[in-house]
Amino acid sequence: MTTFWRLLTFLRPYRAGVIGSLVLAALAMAMTVAIPYLTGRAIDQVRAGNEHELLVLGIAVAVAGLLRLLLTIARRLVAGQVSLGVEYDLRRRLYGHLLDQELAFFDRQQTGQLMSRATVDLSSVRFFLGYGLVFLVQSALTILLASAAMFLTDPGLAAMALAPVPFVVVIATRFGRTARPAIQAVQQRLAELTADVEENISGVRVVKAFAAEDRQLSRFTGSVGRVFDQAMVSTRLQAFYNPFIGFLPQLGLAAILFFGGRRVIDGSLTMGQFTAFYTYLLMLLGPMRQLGVALGLSQRATASGARLFEILDREPRITQRPDAVSLPDGSGQVQLQDVTLRYEGAATPALRDVSLTIPAGQTLAVVGATGSGKSALVALIARLYDVTDGAVSVDGVDVRDVVTDELRRQIAIVNDDPFLFSASVAENIAYARQGATAKDIRIAAERAQAAGFIERLPDGYDTRVGERGMTLSGGQRQRIAIARAFLADPRILILDDATSSVDASTERAIKEALREVMAGRTTIVIAHRLSTIALADQIVVLEDGTVAAHGSHDELLDVSPLYREIVEKGLPDQVFLNRNPPEREVAGL
């Protein structure tokens, strides 16, 4: 099925509206065609001096004009409702399909590209399906009805006047074939421009920090230039084809003025008939002249539709199995069996042959150099990615066999750079649990050591935090994210260096709160500070995607040179010594 016909399938839920709009358009066109006929009759009555008949025809013209006005208003209202309905359905379907995609899909996509498809491309499709299609049909009806009226008036003159029409059709068809790839390229360049704008705005702090405004402006100017160059290709096509399509009907008009005028002079055609015929021909000029514009709209919609279908036709790589089971009761035991993870397009695996068991209720600290696979390991537990080989299970069930929503509701993740929505503090904390009360939110904030600074905000818990929470400090954002995790009351808690942006005194307070919430709960801590390891029952050391060592702090100091190096280069922290026997002195502590 071609892209154009696929686009028409979006009109199925609005069949009644589309049919009604077309019927109203046909009736409005019938009134439009009737007016020249009545006008011609009136002119003949003027020449005949028939005043009564002239009055009747004048009233008929006014009634036809009024009916056309009312029908056109009704048609626009119905078409507008169809257009907005299609837009609503398209946006909801596209956004829902994007949410169904796995995390790896977004790793490879530019946000601006997706935004462009969800706005510019979708609006092009919506405008054409809601208005452009009716406009095309209405133009076709105008040409059909006016041509029929011309043939009824004088077949010879009608054939002469309509002789250029086949050439118009041929040229318009050729224009459509040539314009589609050019317009599609413009849409792609616009998407790239949108991506640049989004990236520059999101990274404005980095731009200003490095005084790189001129560099970014130069880069943006290049993107704008590419849009301009590609748009000029499309503009040149339209600059040639559209005027040429409009010129051809003028030849028919010139012929009618000459030959029709001679028929009036020799008396074989009345002045009224000539006037009606001339008006019909003028009615044809508009639709023919606009044919290029209408085809441009259809080609733009087709190009945009192709870009939308690239997203809508992509099947998510991570899907819930039809026979998925509920997550069984349990305390959060996690097991990785010979797990290998290779990201799409990556040369080497992020994880390789990892086997690990985390007993329910225990805390595991994961340490290792940057790129060793720490974040990849915890992402597999929530099934944000699927293993390439091996299996990950929670409470004895493979995560691929579990209802995805149930699995993820039992896992809370706090990242080192948490994301907050542009909403109130209370709404951001309550995001973890629908229906959370104000008391629940306050308790979670207190446990995360966030209540103090929240109450000092201008509107307390109702203070809006701005886009991505940028009106708050990094430590404040992390404490709100920790409060959100507390409120979720998960079976498994994952802390990805969750205290990296807080000061030492706040970190100690949060650590005490973490000890409380971690009690009896399976917790995985990605550690970059030695103090964080103090919370762990066991430690795993990752190196190049494999488990280099696994055990307690004392055991790893004895058997793992890599771990000893990590400890020796770690920051001094007395919390670590408080957890372990004082007789072992750790270098650097």
- Whether the CB-CB separation of 579 and 585 falls below 8 Å is answered with no
**What is the pLDDT at residue 575?**
36
In a domain, 327, yes or no: no
Q: Which range of residues forms the domain containing residue 272?
A: 13-183+239-312
Distance CA 159, CA 531 (A): 92
Residues 301 and 361 in one domain: no
Residues 389 and 511 in one domain: yes
**What is the pLDDT at residue 176?**
66
In a domain, 188, yes or no: no
Distance CA 335, CA 481 (A): 26
- What parts of the chain have a pLDDT lower than 50? 571-589
CA of residue 355 relative to chain centroid, distance: 38
CA-CA-CA-CA torsion for 188, 189, 192, 197, nearest 10 degrees? -130
**What is the pLDDT at residue 293?**
65
Q: Which two tokens stand for residue 172?
A: 């318009």
**What is the pLDDT at residue 370?**
80
Distance CA 468, CA 202 (A): 10
Q: Is 372 left (phi over 0), alpha (psi -120 to 50) or beta?
A: alpha
Residues 500 and 574 in one domain: yes
In a domain, 234, yes or no: no
Query: Looking at the chain, how many residues does it have?
Result: 589
Which runs of consecutive H residues, i.e. helices, occur in 389-473?
Answer: 404-409, 425-430, 438-447, 451-455
In a domain, 160, yes or no: yes
Exposure string of 373-395, with b = 16+ CB inside 10 Å and e = fewer, is bbbbbbbbbbbbbebeebebbbb
**What is the pLDDT at residue 359?**
92
Q: Is 491 left (phi over 0), alpha (psi -120 to 50) or beta?
A: alpha
Distance CA 245, CA 167 (A): 9
Residues 302 and 379 in one domain: no
In a domain, 46, yes or no: yes
In a domain, 568, yes or no: yes
**What is the pLDDT at residue 574?**
37
Residues 253 and 358 in one domain: no
**What is the pLDDT at residue 276?**
82
Pairing of strands 538-543, 546-551: antiparallel
Residues 127 and 244 in one domain: yes
> Any idea what the CATH number is for the domain that residue 303 is in?
1.20.1560.10
| Number of helical (H) and strand (E) elements in the chain, helices listed first | 24, 10
Number of domains in the chain: 2
Position 236, amino acid: R
pLDDT digits (tens, 9 = 90+) for 384-429: 999 999 999 999 999 999 999 999 999 988 887 788 888 899 999 9
Residues 61 and 156 in one domain: yes
Residues 304 and 340 in one domain: no
Strands (E), 285-375: 334-341, 351-358, 363-368
Residues 283 and 402 in one domain: no
Distance CA 527, CA 498 (A): 9
Pairing of strands 397-398, 389-394: antiparallel
In a domain, 196, yes or no: no
Distances (CA, A) of 109 to 196, 227, 322, 386, 448: 13, 20, 28, 19, 34
Looking at residue 402, what DSSP letter applies? Answer: B
Residues 306 and 371 in one domain: no
Residues 22 and 66 in one domain: yes
Residues 388 and 478 in one domain: yes
Distance CA 178, CA 200 (A): 34
* Burial of residue 17, with CB atoms counted within 10 A of its CB: 0-12 exposed, 13-18 middle, 19 or more buried: buried
Instruction: Select from 312, 344, 365 the last residue of a domain.
Output: 312
In a domain, 470, yes or no: yes
Q: φ and ψ at 449, to 5 degrees?
A: 60, 35
